[in-house]
Amino acid sequence: MNIKIAVLPGDGIGPEIIAQALEVTKAVCNKFGHTLEYKSGLVGACAIDATGNPYPEETHTLCMESDAVLFGAVGDLRFDNNPSAKVRPEQGLLAMRKKLGLYANLRPVTTFDSLIEKSPLRADIVKGADFMCIRELTGGLYFGRPQGRSEDGNTAYDTCVYTREEVERIVKLAYEYAMKRRKKVTVVDKANVLATSRLWREVANEIAPQYPEVETEFMFVDNAAMRLIQWPTSFDVMVTENMFGDILTDEGSVITGSMGLLPSASIGVHTSLFEPIHGSWPQAAGQNIANPLATILSAAMMFEYAFGLFDEGTLIREAVNASMAANVCTPDIQTESDTKYGTKEVGAWIVDYINNK
C-alpha cells in the first residue's frame, strides 16, 4: 500500500517525539512492504514565527492532500505568558480541527501491567482499566461565539453552543464503538445546569433505543471526574462535549501513570489526524527526556484507523509493551535502573524490535 502522510511536528518537544514516531512508521512500512510518502508542514508558534499564521494555508493544503496527519503539539511560553497576544499557537490547532472537519477525538485509556506501580492510584483500582473517551472537537466553549472582553477589559465572556446535528453524529459514533467493545456508553454532561447539556441528554435518549444491546448511563461531569479516580474499570465508552473531554482525558492520564502514554485519533469529514494528548512541554525541548510512546502509539492508531492496517498497529503496540517490560523508558516512567534512556534511545529500541521481528 502507498501511505501518504502530512507530518506536523509543531512546537516544544513536538519535533523530538514526532521524529521517533516517524522512524517507527518507516520501520513498519519497510517490514510490511508499504511505500511511505511524507512531507512536513508548520503549525503553532513556529508557523507564527515563519508566516504570522498559526495554521498557514500551505499546511492546510498539505493536510488535505494527504491520507493522514501525524501531529506533535503546539504551544510556547512566549504566548502562554502573554494574555494579550492576538495570535496564539493554539489557534492553529483549533483552525486545523475546524477546517479539516475533525469533530471526534478518540482517546483510549489503557493500563500497562509493567507500569501499574507508576500510577499514583492504588494498583487494585487501576488494574484492568480500559476505556475509550470520545470527545466532541468542533463545538462548545472553544468555538462558540460571541467571545471576547468588554471595552474596559474588566469582563470576559465565552459562549457554549451545540447544534442537534453536532451532538447526534458524536453520540452515534460512541454507540458504534461500544458495539465493538463491552457495549456500555457513559454520556457525561452537566444537564442540571447547562442548556447545551440538556440537548446532549435529549439526543442521547433518542439514539439509545437504536442500540438495545448497549447499556446507557448518564453522569454529571463532576461525578465522572470523581468516578475516574475511584472506579476507572467501570467505564467502557465515554462520550462528552469539547471542554469536559479535554479535562477528563488529561485526568485519565494518571491512571496509566504518565500523560506520555496516551495517544489519540481525531476523525471527521476530511483527513484524520493522530497525536499524543499531551502538550508541547517547552521547558523540556531539546533535552531528550520527552516520552515518545504516546506519539508512537498514535502512529499505531494511524495505521489502523486511516489505513485499516491492524497487523501493523498491533506490532507497534507489541514493541511499545516490550520496551516498557524491559524498562527501556524515559525518566517519567522508568523504574530504578543503571541504564538511563532518553527520547531517541527509546525510539531506537522500538525500531530495532520491529526490525528484528
Let me know if 190 is a catalytic residue: yes
Q: E strand or H helix at 133, and its extent?
A: strand 130-136
Residues in a beta bridge with 304: none
Q: Which of 104, 98, 5, 13 is nearest to 55 (CA)?
A: 98
Using an 8 Å Cβ cutoff, are 170 and 103 in contact?
Answer: yes
Catalytic residue among 142, 162, 175, 305: 142
Catalytic residue among 190, 236, 305, 353: 190
Q: Which residues have a Cβ under 8 Å from the Cβ of 187 and sit 6 or more positions away?
A: 171, 174, 200, 201, 204, 216, 217, 218, 219, 239, 240
250 is catalytic: yes
Contact 328, 347 (CB under 8 A): no
Interacting residues of 238 by C-beta distance below 8 A, sequence separation 6+: 131, 132, 133, 134, 174, 185, 186, 188, 224, 248
- Taking a C-beta distance cutoff of 8 angstroms, is the pair 22, 9 a contact? no
Selecting among 49, 67, 80, 250, the annotated active-site residue is: 250
Q: How many Cα atoms within 13 Å fall on the side-chain side of residue 31?
A: 20
142 among known catalytic residues:
yes
Q: Any catalytic annotation for residue 246? A: yes
Dihedral in degrees, nearest 10, Cα atoms 297, 299, 304, 307: 180
- Please tell me which residue in 189, 246, 305, 353 is annotated as part of the active site: 246
Report the catalytic residues.
Answer: 142, 190, 222, 246, 250
